[in-house]
Amino acid sequence: MARATIKDIALAANVSPMTVSNVINGRRAKASEETIERIMGAVKTLGYRPNMSARSLVSNASRMVGVIIPFTENQNQLLLDNPFYAEMISGIESALRANGYYMMLSGVGESNAQLDTLSHWNMDALIVLGVYREALYDRLRELALPTLLIDSYIDDPSFYRLGVDDEAAAYRATKYLIGKGHSGVALVTGVIRTDGVIEHRVDGYKRALAEAGIGFDPARILSGSVTFDWGAEAAAGLVALRDTTAAFCTADLIAAGLLAGLHRLGKRIPEDYSVMGFDNLSISRMVYPALTTVDQSILGKGQLAGRLISAILNKTDAPRDSFVDVAIVERDSVSQRGAR
Protein backbone atom coordinates (compact mmCIF):
# COMPACT_ATOMS: atom_id res chain seq x y z
CA MET A 1 0.00 0.00 0.00
CA ALA A 2 1.28 3.45 -0.95
CA ARG A 3 2.18 5.80 1.87
CA ALA A 4 -0.63 8.26 2.69
CA THR A 5 0.06 11.90 1.82
CA ILE A 6 -1.33 15.24 2.95
CA LYS A 7 -3.39 15.33 -0.25
CA ASP A 8 -4.96 11.98 0.69
CA ILE A 9 -5.87 13.34 4.12
CA ALA A 10 -7.29 16.51 2.57
CA LEU A 11 -9.46 14.48 0.17
CA ALA A 12 -10.77 12.22 2.94
CA ALA A 13 -11.53 15.15 5.26
CA ASN A 14 -12.92 17.38 2.48
CA VAL A 15 -10.54 20.25 3.24
CA SER A 16 -7.57 21.85 1.51
CA PRO A 17 -4.02 20.42 1.81
CA MET A 18 -2.99 23.71 3.46
CA THR A 19 -5.58 23.22 6.22
CA VAL A 20 -4.31 19.67 6.80
CA SER A 21 -0.72 20.93 6.99
CA ASN A 22 -1.67 23.62 9.49
CA VAL A 23 -3.57 21.21 11.74
CA ILE A 24 -0.99 18.41 11.86
CA ASN A 25 1.78 20.94 12.51
CA GLY A 26 -0.03 22.50 15.47
CA ARG A 27 -1.31 25.65 13.74
CA ARG A 28 -4.98 25.12 14.58
CA ALA A 29 -6.24 28.62 15.43
CA LYS A 30 -8.19 29.04 12.15
CA ALA A 31 -9.66 25.52 12.09
CA SER A 32 -12.92 24.58 13.79
CA GLU A 33 -13.10 21.71 16.26
CA GLU A 34 -15.20 19.75 13.77
CA THR A 35 -12.58 20.25 11.03
CA ILE A 36 -9.76 19.21 13.35
CA GLU A 37 -11.67 16.05 14.32
CA ARG A 38 -12.24 15.14 10.65
CA ILE A 39 -8.58 15.67 9.78
CA MET A 40 -7.25 13.71 12.75
CA GLY A 41 -9.75 10.94 12.07
CA ALA A 42 -8.48 10.69 8.48
CA VAL A 43 -4.88 10.69 9.75
CA LYS A 44 -5.66 7.70 11.97
CA THR A 45 -7.71 5.83 9.37
CA LEU A 46 -5.15 6.23 6.59
CA GLY A 47 -2.15 5.65 8.87
CA TYR A 48 -0.50 8.92 7.85
CA ARG A 49 3.06 9.48 9.03
CA PRO A 50 4.94 12.76 8.39
CA ASN A 51 7.82 12.57 5.91
CA MET A 52 10.61 13.95 8.08
CA SER A 53 13.05 14.31 5.19
CA ALA A 54 10.61 16.39 3.18
CA ARG A 55 9.70 18.47 6.23
CA SER A 56 13.38 19.10 6.84
CA LEU A 57 13.89 20.37 3.29
CA VAL A 58 10.93 22.73 3.53
CA SER A 59 11.60 24.14 6.99
CA ASN A 60 15.39 23.75 7.06
CA ALA A 61 14.90 22.12 10.46
CA SER A 62 15.08 18.37 10.96
CA ARG A 63 14.18 18.30 14.68
CA MET A 64 17.08 15.88 14.95
CA VAL A 65 19.72 16.27 17.67
CA GLY A 66 23.00 14.42 17.26
CA VAL A 67 24.48 12.89 20.43
CA ILE A 68 28.20 12.16 20.17
CA ILE A 69 30.33 9.98 22.42
CA PRO A 70 34.07 10.33 21.68
CA PHE A 71 36.14 7.18 22.21
CA THR A 72 38.85 8.76 24.34
CA GLU A 73 40.49 5.60 25.69
CA ASN A 74 39.74 2.53 23.57
CA GLN A 75 38.99 3.01 19.89
CA ASN A 76 37.41 -0.45 19.65
CA GLN A 77 35.06 -0.23 22.61
CA LEU A 78 31.34 -0.84 22.26
CA LEU A 79 29.32 2.35 22.31
CA LEU A 80 27.21 1.57 25.39
CA ASP A 81 29.62 -0.86 27.07
CA ASN A 82 29.94 1.63 29.94
CA PRO A 83 26.61 1.81 31.84
CA PHE A 84 27.33 5.49 32.52
CA TYR A 85 26.56 6.23 28.86
CA ALA A 86 23.45 4.03 28.85
CA GLU A 87 21.91 6.00 31.72
CA MET A 88 22.96 9.35 30.28
CA ILE A 89 21.59 8.57 26.81
CA SER A 90 18.29 7.34 28.29
CA GLY A 91 17.86 10.68 30.03
CA ILE A 92 18.76 12.72 26.95
CA GLU A 93 16.41 10.76 24.67
CA SER A 94 13.43 10.97 27.02
CA ALA A 95 13.76 14.75 27.39
CA LEU A 96 14.25 15.32 23.66
CA ARG A 97 11.20 13.19 22.87
CA ALA A 98 9.11 15.11 25.40
CA ASN A 99 10.08 18.34 23.63
CA GLY A 100 9.34 17.07 20.12
CA TYR A 101 12.90 16.28 19.04
CA TYR A 102 14.55 13.09 17.84
CA MET A 103 17.98 11.72 18.70
CA MET A 104 20.71 10.27 16.52
CA LEU A 105 23.51 8.60 18.50
CA SER A 106 27.05 8.04 17.28
CA GLY A 107 30.42 7.12 18.68
CA VAL A 108 33.32 9.09 17.21
CA GLY A 109 36.85 7.78 16.89
CA GLU A 110 40.06 9.52 15.90
CA SER A 111 39.04 9.85 12.22
CA ASN A 112 35.85 11.81 13.07
CA ALA A 113 34.24 10.13 10.04
CA GLN A 114 31.01 9.58 11.96
CA LEU A 115 30.75 13.32 12.53
CA ASP A 116 30.66 13.86 8.76
CA THR A 117 27.74 11.44 8.57
CA LEU A 118 25.86 13.39 11.23
CA SER A 119 26.40 16.64 9.35
CA HIS A 120 24.86 15.10 6.22
CA TRP A 121 21.72 14.27 8.21
CA ASN A 122 21.04 17.97 8.76
CA MET A 123 21.20 17.95 12.55
CA ASP A 124 19.62 20.94 14.28
CA ALA A 125 22.02 20.71 17.23
CA LEU A 126 24.59 18.51 18.94
CA ILE A 127 25.16 17.14 22.44
CA VAL A 128 28.76 15.97 22.95
CA LEU A 129 30.10 14.03 25.94
CA GLY A 130 33.62 14.52 27.27
CA VAL A 131 35.38 16.34 24.44
CA TYR A 132 38.89 17.81 24.77
CA ARG A 133 40.72 20.51 22.81
CA GLU A 134 41.72 18.30 19.90
CA ALA A 135 40.64 17.48 16.34
CA LEU A 136 37.02 16.79 17.30
CA TYR A 137 36.76 20.16 19.03
CA ASP A 138 38.01 21.93 15.90
CA ARG A 139 35.52 19.99 13.76
CA LEU A 140 32.66 20.95 16.06
CA ARG A 141 33.56 24.61 15.71
CA GLU A 142 33.51 24.25 11.93
CA LEU A 143 29.98 22.82 11.99
CA ALA A 144 28.76 25.93 13.85
CA LEU A 145 25.68 24.17 15.24
CA PRO A 146 24.13 24.88 18.64
CA THR A 147 26.22 22.53 20.79
CA LEU A 148 26.03 21.43 24.42
CA LEU A 149 29.17 19.89 25.91
CA ILE A 150 28.70 17.49 28.82
CA ASP A 151 31.60 16.91 31.22
CA SER A 152 34.02 19.09 29.28
CA TYR A 153 36.27 21.87 30.52
CA ILE A 154 36.58 23.60 27.16
CA ASP A 155 35.86 27.27 27.83
CA ASP A 156 34.56 28.53 24.50
CA PRO A 157 31.63 30.97 24.14
CA SER A 158 30.58 29.06 21.01
CA PHE A 159 29.37 26.19 23.19
CA TYR A 160 27.06 25.56 26.13
CA ARG A 161 28.30 23.34 28.97
CA LEU A 162 26.77 20.99 31.52
CA GLY A 163 28.69 19.16 34.24
CA VAL A 164 29.53 18.85 37.91
CA ASP A 165 32.22 20.57 39.94
CA ASP A 166 34.57 17.59 39.70
CA GLU A 167 37.26 19.08 41.93
CA ALA A 168 34.80 19.83 44.72
CA ALA A 169 33.08 16.43 44.36
CA ALA A 170 36.36 14.50 44.62
CA TYR A 171 37.41 16.69 47.56
CA ARG A 172 34.18 15.75 49.38
CA ALA A 173 34.67 12.05 48.66
CA THR A 174 38.27 12.00 49.84
CA LYS A 175 37.43 14.08 52.91
CA TYR A 176 34.66 11.58 53.70
CA LEU A 177 37.14 8.69 53.66
CA ILE A 178 39.63 10.65 55.78
CA GLY A 179 36.81 11.40 58.20
CA LYS A 180 36.30 7.66 58.54
CA GLY A 181 39.85 7.40 59.88
CA HIS A 182 41.64 6.48 56.64
CA SER A 183 44.90 8.38 56.28
CA GLY A 184 46.10 6.08 53.50
CA VAL A 185 43.68 6.73 50.63
CA ALA A 186 44.49 5.58 47.09
CA LEU A 187 42.90 7.02 43.95
CA VAL A 188 41.97 4.46 41.29
CA THR A 189 41.11 6.14 38.02
CA GLY A 190 41.11 6.17 34.25
CA VAL A 191 43.50 8.08 32.03
CA ILE A 192 44.44 11.49 33.45
CA ARG A 193 44.27 14.05 30.63
CA THR A 194 45.11 17.73 30.81
CA ASP A 195 42.10 19.82 31.86
CA GLY A 196 39.82 16.81 31.80
CA VAL A 197 37.30 15.52 34.33
CA ILE A 198 39.82 13.12 35.91
CA GLU A 199 42.50 15.78 36.32
CA HIS A 200 40.03 17.94 38.23
CA ARG A 201 39.07 15.00 40.45
CA VAL A 202 42.76 14.37 41.14
CA ASP A 203 43.04 18.02 42.21
CA GLY A 204 40.15 17.58 44.65
CA TYR A 205 41.76 14.44 46.05
CA LYS A 206 45.03 16.30 46.61
CA ARG A 207 43.25 19.23 48.26
CA ALA A 208 41.55 16.98 50.80
CA LEU A 209 44.85 15.30 51.66
CA ALA A 210 46.61 18.63 52.10
CA GLU A 211 43.83 20.00 54.27
CA ALA A 212 44.14 16.96 56.55
CA GLY A 213 47.92 17.27 56.72
CA ILE A 214 48.45 14.03 54.79
CA GLY A 215 51.36 14.00 52.37
CA PHE A 216 50.57 13.27 48.71
CA ASP A 217 52.14 10.03 47.46
CA PRO A 218 52.08 9.66 43.63
CA ALA A 219 52.32 5.89 44.06
CA ARG A 220 48.79 5.96 45.48
CA ILE A 221 47.36 7.10 42.15
CA LEU A 222 46.57 3.99 40.12
CA SER A 223 45.68 5.13 36.60
CA GLY A 224 44.39 2.88 33.83
CA SER A 225 41.02 2.98 32.07
CA VAL A 226 37.39 3.45 33.02
CA THR A 227 36.60 -0.27 32.88
CA PHE A 228 35.67 -3.13 35.19
CA ASP A 229 38.77 -5.02 34.05
CA TRP A 230 41.10 -2.20 35.06
CA GLY A 231 39.48 -2.00 38.48
CA ALA A 232 40.00 -5.73 38.99
CA GLU A 233 43.62 -5.45 37.86
CA ALA A 234 44.25 -2.47 40.13
CA ALA A 235 43.39 -4.55 43.21
CA ALA A 236 46.88 -6.09 43.23
CA GLY A 237 48.44 -2.63 43.04
CA LEU A 238 46.30 -1.41 45.90
CA VAL A 239 47.22 -4.34 48.14
CA ALA A 240 50.91 -3.75 47.38
CA LEU A 241 50.76 -0.19 48.75
CA ARG A 242 51.95 0.25 52.32
CA ASP A 243 49.64 1.76 54.95
CA THR A 244 46.78 2.12 52.46
CA THR A 245 43.33 1.15 53.72
CA ALA A 246 40.90 2.90 51.39
CA ALA A 247 40.39 3.59 47.70
CA PHE A 248 38.44 6.36 46.02
CA CYS A 249 37.53 5.27 42.49
CA THR A 250 36.62 7.99 39.99
CA ALA A 251 33.92 5.76 38.43
CA ASP A 252 31.57 3.10 39.80
CA LEU A 253 32.59 0.76 36.98
CA ILE A 254 36.20 0.87 38.22
CA ALA A 255 35.03 0.41 41.81
CA ALA A 256 32.99 -2.67 40.87
CA GLY A 257 36.08 -4.22 39.31
CA LEU A 258 38.20 -3.30 42.31
CA LEU A 259 35.75 -5.03 44.65
CA ALA A 260 35.89 -8.16 42.52
CA GLY A 261 39.69 -8.06 42.42
CA LEU A 262 39.97 -7.62 46.18
CA HIS A 263 37.58 -10.52 46.76
CA ARG A 264 39.75 -12.73 44.56
CA LEU A 265 42.77 -11.77 46.65
CA GLY A 266 40.96 -12.84 49.80
CA LYS A 267 40.46 -9.32 51.12
CA ARG A 268 37.38 -8.29 53.07
CA ILE A 269 35.45 -5.14 52.27
CA PRO A 270 35.13 -2.97 54.25
CA GLU A 271 37.06 -4.71 57.06
CA ASP A 272 40.40 -4.78 55.18
CA TYR A 273 39.78 -2.08 52.58
CA SER A 274 37.12 0.58 52.19
CA VAL A 275 36.09 1.32 48.61
CA MET A 276 34.20 4.35 47.33
CA GLY A 277 32.92 5.04 43.82
CA PHE A 278 31.65 7.94 41.76
CA ASP A 279 28.43 8.16 39.66
CA ASN A 280 25.83 6.11 41.59
CA LEU A 281 25.12 3.83 38.65
CA SER A 282 22.63 1.00 39.14
CA ILE A 283 25.62 -1.36 39.37
CA SER A 284 26.59 0.29 42.68
CA ARG A 285 23.56 -1.37 44.31
CA MET A 286 24.24 -4.77 42.71
CA VAL A 287 27.83 -5.41 43.81
CA TYR A 288 28.82 -6.89 47.17
CA PRO A 289 29.05 -5.11 49.42
CA ALA A 290 26.79 -2.37 48.05
CA LEU A 291 28.96 0.55 47.01
CA THR A 292 29.25 3.85 48.84
CA THR A 293 29.54 6.41 46.07
CA VAL A 294 29.15 9.98 44.86
CA ASP A 295 25.77 10.47 43.20
CA GLN A 296 25.75 12.84 40.24
CA SER A 297 22.22 11.88 39.09
CA ILE A 298 23.27 10.69 35.64
CA LEU A 299 19.73 10.05 34.39
CA GLY A 300 18.64 13.48 35.60
CA LYS A 301 21.76 15.01 34.10
CA GLY A 302 20.85 13.51 30.73
CA GLN A 303 17.30 14.80 31.02
CA LEU A 304 18.61 18.26 31.85
CA ALA A 305 20.85 18.10 28.78
CA GLY A 306 17.84 17.29 26.59
CA ARG A 307 15.83 20.15 28.07
CA LEU A 308 18.71 22.61 27.70
CA ILE A 309 19.33 21.87 24.02
CA SER A 310 15.56 22.04 23.38
CA ALA A 311 15.44 25.45 25.05
CA ILE A 312 18.41 26.62 22.97
CA LEU A 313 16.72 25.50 19.75
CA ASN A 314 13.44 27.14 20.80
CA LYS A 315 15.39 30.34 21.49
CA THR A 316 14.32 30.51 25.12
CA ASP A 317 16.66 31.43 27.95
CA ALA A 318 19.34 28.82 28.60
CA PRO A 319 22.41 29.38 30.81
CA ARG A 320 25.80 29.12 29.14
CA ASP A 321 27.05 26.93 32.02
CA SER A 322 24.91 24.54 34.08
CA PHE A 323 25.99 22.43 37.04
CA VAL A 324 24.47 19.36 38.68
CA ASP A 325 24.74 18.95 42.44
CA VAL A 326 26.34 15.82 43.88
CA ALA A 327 25.70 13.91 47.10
CA ILE A 328 27.43 11.08 48.92
CA VAL A 329 25.33 7.92 49.06
CA GLU A 330 26.38 5.76 52.02
CA ARG A 331 26.07 2.01 51.60
CA ASP A 332 28.23 -0.86 52.88
CA SER A 333 31.68 -0.61 51.27
CA VAL A 334 33.19 1.97 53.65
CA SER A 335 33.79 1.48 57.36
CA GLN A 336 35.17 3.54 60.21
CA ARG A 337 38.88 2.73 60.54
CA GLY A 338 39.49 0.83 63.74
CA ALA A 339 35.82 -0.09 64.22
CA ARG A 340 36.15 -3.81 63.50
64-164+299-323 and 166-297, same CATH topology: yes
> Which parts of 217-271 fold into alpha helices (H)?
228-240, 252-264
DSSP class of 310:
H
Read off the pTM: 0.81
Residue 142: what pLDDT? 86
Going from N- to C-terminal start, the domains of the chain cover: 6-50, 64-164+299-323, 166-297
What mean pLDDT, rounded, does the chain reach? Answer: 90
Say which CATH class 166-297 falls into: alpha beta
φ, ψ at 254 (rounded to 5°): -65, -45
pLDDT digits (tens, 9 = 90+) for 50-83: 665 555 545 556 789 999 988 766 545 556 778 8
How far, in Å, CA of 140 to CA of 150, rounded? 14
Residue 340: what pLDDT? 46
The superfamily CATH assigns to domain 64-164+299-323 is Response regulator (3.40.50.2300)
Which residue, among 324, 72, 50, has the nearest Cα to 194 in the 3D structure?
72
How does residue 254 score in pLDDT terms, banded at 50, 70 and 90?
A: very high
Residue 27: what pLDDT? 73
φ, ψ at 169 (rounded to 5°): -65, -45
Residue 137: what pLDDT? 87
Say which CATH class 6-50 falls into: mainly alpha
DSSP class of 284:
G
Strand stretches in the chain, DSSP E: 64-70, 102-108, 125-129, 147-150, 160-163, 185-189, 221-223, 246-249, 274-279, 292-295, 321-323, 327-329
Which residue, among 145, 240, 172, has the nearest Cα to 128 in the 3D structure?
145
